[in-house]
Structure 1
Amino acid sequence: MAKRIIGLLALALTLCAGAVQAAPLKIGVLAPISGSSAADGNDIVKGVKTAVEVVKAEGGIPGFDSIEVDVQDDACDPRQAVAGANKLANSKVAGVVGAYCSSATIPASEVLNEEKITMITPASTNPKVTERGFKYMYRMCGLDSQQAIAAVKFMKDQLKAKSVFILDDKTTYSQGLANYVADEAKKAGLNIVAVEHVNEGDMDYSAVLTKLKDSNADVFYMSLQNSSAGIRMIKQLRQMGIKSAVLSQDAVYHPNFIKEAPEQAQGVFFTFGYADKNAPVYKKFLEKYTALNGEPGAYSAYSFDSAYALMTAIKAAKSTDADKIRAELMKMNLPGASKVIKFQENGDSGSNYVIYKVTGEAFKEYYNPETNKLF
């Protein structure tokens, strides 16, 4: 009898303690907060924090008294990404949004998958991210292979290009995407006049741009790791009077590209995911994000959706167990800010790449590869 009374008292004390102070829900973020990709990394953090505020306004998540965001800086460095992933695992996060660079996401996901922690990348497009059969790895953006198809279709069907000059900066992301573009260009019958490389962090591109000018290529495909490199390159390209049409990709697509090179950026084309800005969820995201942070960056909506999907799954599962979260993510058909979120078995969520053109102070929707029509 005495043992039973003691047991009941212990249970009562446990329940009372839980009622007084419930545990916080911890959401991890792995992103480049420092280094050349810091603009995108900080946009990712802001997108996650915006999603947290939206969830809190919707009533929060039962069982948790608060939602905390634990940010780790990976600086797009593989070793720093692994260290950050270990820190997040040790702090018992329920899931991680990140990383930005594929070179950081791939090694970090090995740590998190082994620890059974959900990871959703809003930005890493290298196919290897979801090709390894990792049960707890998901992707909100599209893939390099899908982006390359959209890029080459635009070159051939809209620009009527016959030749293309391809350049990357040797990073896992930019070189991988450039390789896919080269493969698709060959299939489409385009003449690849050159595939050149620069180093990430280079300041002077005159040597490779001279080759571009001499080639008279119809299209210059500029695959770089971040917008800061794109800004330097487009300024030097315009100064040299190069006439090739310029097509770049999602890493260079950032408001800073226009802000820092307002004249030189005019007419540059980009592949990036299409977001319906009249959709209710996008409007909710934009209103909250703008109030907290100002203008969204390139990956703000993708990171918002990654965090919102994660928290929605946790709420539905009533658990932070990765297998229970996965069960909810797999049956999800959730309207998001960037797209309708619906994951495939391998963790991908599909692509929605379209072509944008810098016009005035904005990226304007220009061409839809699926319909083969201009907007």
Structure 2
Amino acid sequence: MKRITSVLSVVLVLCLALAVTAPAKTLKIGSMSPLTGPYAADGNDIANGVRAAIEMVKKEGGIPGYDNIELFPQDTACDPRQAVAAANKLINLDVVGVIGAYCSSATIPASEVLDEESIPMLTPASTNEKVTERGLPYMYRVCGRDDDQSKAALKFMTDQLKAKSVFIVDDKTTYSQGLADGVEKLSEAAGIKVLAHDHINQGDKDFSAVLTKIKQDNPDVFYMSLQNSSTGALMLIQARRMGLKCAILAQDAVYHPQLMSIAKDAAEGAYLTFGYKDKSTDAYKKFMSVYAQYGDPGAYSEYSYDGAYALLQAIKKAGSTEPEQIKKQLESIEFAGASKLIKFAPNGDSGSNYIIQVVKGGQFVNYWNPATGKFY
């Protein structure tokens, strides 16, 4: 009896030793966004959205076969070269998927590098059409597209603002200039006179020169296509001080809570195009249950959460981290996300649902739906 007990004791000790010494298996995913610099607010929102998705998946039982899910956030600073370096770093870290980037000018070159290694990339914020038009098999987009956003802007200008003229300004980035070019072409085709299409530089603080031109030309609409909300806030402040009376229409990159915290009353009445979000849904409430610890969601928090959740669910359903198996599951996935219904088309897009919002009482308020022509 003593011998049996002794043997069992040895077996138990060995099992405990193996349990203690066995290395934990970690599932690694990456994110890419500007964590420093002028776009850091949106970039950190993206990283926090991924963190929230990881927490939710852990609450739901995690990924079988893995003890932990770890995020490796990389700073792209919206710089193409830094984005490529970040992509290479994530490859060396053996991540199985990447959520990012923010700027299209960073996403496009980084995705080329990741695609060479068959690593899925899901962007929550890059809206330039080229992102999903290059035929990269592992490139997905959770947000909408600029060609759809420009159509929403045009419909609002024609149907509601009854605009006859527009003055367009962008900051020369791949995203903002591409979107502005689209608005210009559509406006001309619709008979709206484009008085000018001017440009500023990233990092500019004084916009008096271009705003003086706008005031002199007196357009019906000032279309503001900028890469971030802080620049948009400064431009709104200076536009109001200069006494611009025209309607001001901006786009999704200007959409961020800090627009109001910086511009304050100067932001009141500004219109923006942004994807419709229904905050009354169970999916949105589920998202907020894990995201609230990071504060109010930013422009792309929900999109990054949905992208990360889709990636992790694809891995869970595949029971594998093999790229082809993840891709197969991403192509068939469909769920109600925090931002919208998540379902990917063969080219990697997930559809656009742009509406017009207005700043009212220091808040973004749903205003008009171009698809239905109805006010909220």
Which range, TM-score by smaller chain? over 0.9
Q: Give runs of aligned pairs for residues 62-141 of structure 1, distance below 5 A.
A: 62-141=64-143
Which stretch of structure 1 is more off in the superposition, 231-240 or 182-191?
182-191
Structure with larger Rg: 2
Q: Provide Cα deviations, 1:196-235, integer angstroms capped at 9, x if missing partner.
A: 0111111111010000001110000000110111011001
Partners of 1:199 and 1:305 in 2: CA distance: 32
Aligned with 2:320: secondary structure?
Answer: coil
Structure 1 residues 277-298: Cα deviation after superposition (integer angstroms, max 9, x where no partner): 11111111112211x2111111
- TM-score, scaled to structure 2: 0.94
Q: Does 1:36 align with 2:38?
A: yes
**Match of 2:70, SS?**
strand
Matched, 1:362 2:363: yes
Report deviation, 1:22. 4.1
Contact 1:30 1:98 (8 Å CA) reproduced: yes
Residue 186 of structure 1 deviates from its aligned partner by 1.5
CA–CA distance in structure 2, aligned partners of residues 160 and 279 of structure 1: 34
Q: What is the TM-score of this pair, normalised by structure 1?
A: 0.94
5+ residue gaps, structure 2: 1-14
Q: Percent identity?
A: 60
Matches of 1:54 and 1:289 in 2, distance apart?
A: 9
Q: Select which of 222, 225, 239 maps to 1:223.
A: 225
Indicate the SS of the match to 1:222.
Answer: strand
User: C-alpha displacement at 1:20, in angstroms?
Assistant: 3.7
* Cross-structure match for 2:241: 239
Distance 1:273 1:18, change over 3 A: farther
User: Using the alignment, how far apart are the partners of 1:317 and 1:22 within structure 2?
Assistant: 21
Query: 1:4 — aligned with what?
Result: none
Distance across 2 between alignment mates of 1:151 and 1:245: 12
In the comparison of the two structures, how many residue pairs are matched? Answer: 361
Q: How does 1:176-255 map to 2 (within 5 A)?
A: 176-255=178-257
Does the aligned pair in 1 maintain the 2:33–2:102 contact within 8 Å? yes
Q: Is the 8 A contact 2:367 2:375 kept in 1?
A: yes
Aligned to 2:373: 372
The separation in 2 between residues aligned to 1:62 and 1:19, in whole angstroms, is 20
- DSSP 3-state at the match of 1:164: strand
Q: Which residue of 2 aligns with 1:294?
A: 295
* Counterparts of 1:245 and 1:288, CA distance in 2: 38
Secondary structure of the 1:314 match is helix
* Structure 1 partner of 2:25: 23
Residues of 2 paired with 1:176 and 1:301: CA distance?
24
**Partner residue in 1 for 2:146:** 144
The answer to whether the Cα contact below 8 Å between 1:74 and 1:80 also exists between their aligned partners in 2 is yes
Which amino acid is the alignment partner of residue 255 of structure 2?
A: Y
Q: Please give the alpha-carbon distance, in whole angstroms, between the structure 2 residues aligned to 1:184 and 1:313.
A: 38
- Report the equivalent of 1:270: 272
The runs of at least 4 consecutive aligned structure 1 residues that moved more than 2 Å come to 16-22
- Matches of 1:63 and 1:280, distance apart in 2: 29
Aligned CA-pair RMSD = 1.4
The CA distance in 2 between the partners of 1:19 and 1:220, in whole Å, is: 64
Unaligned runs of 5+ in 1: 1-12
The CA deviation string for residues 151-184 of structure 1, in whole angstroms up to 9 with x for no partner, is 0100110111111111001111110000011111
One-letter code of the match for 2:221? V
Aligned to 2:8: none
- How big is each residue's C-alpha offset from its partner over 1:55-114, in whole Å with a ceiling of 9 and x where there is no partner? 111111101100000011000000000000000011000100000000000000011000
Q: Matches of 1:320 and 1:117 in 2, distance apart?
A: 10
Residues 274-328 of structure 1 deviation map (CA, whole Å, 9 limit, x = unaligned): 01111111111112211x2111111000000010000010000011111111111
Distance 1:222 1:124 in 2: 18
Structure-1 separation of matches of 2:191 and 2:368: 21
Supply the distance in 1 between the matched residues of 2:362 and 2:57 (Cα, whole angstroms): 32
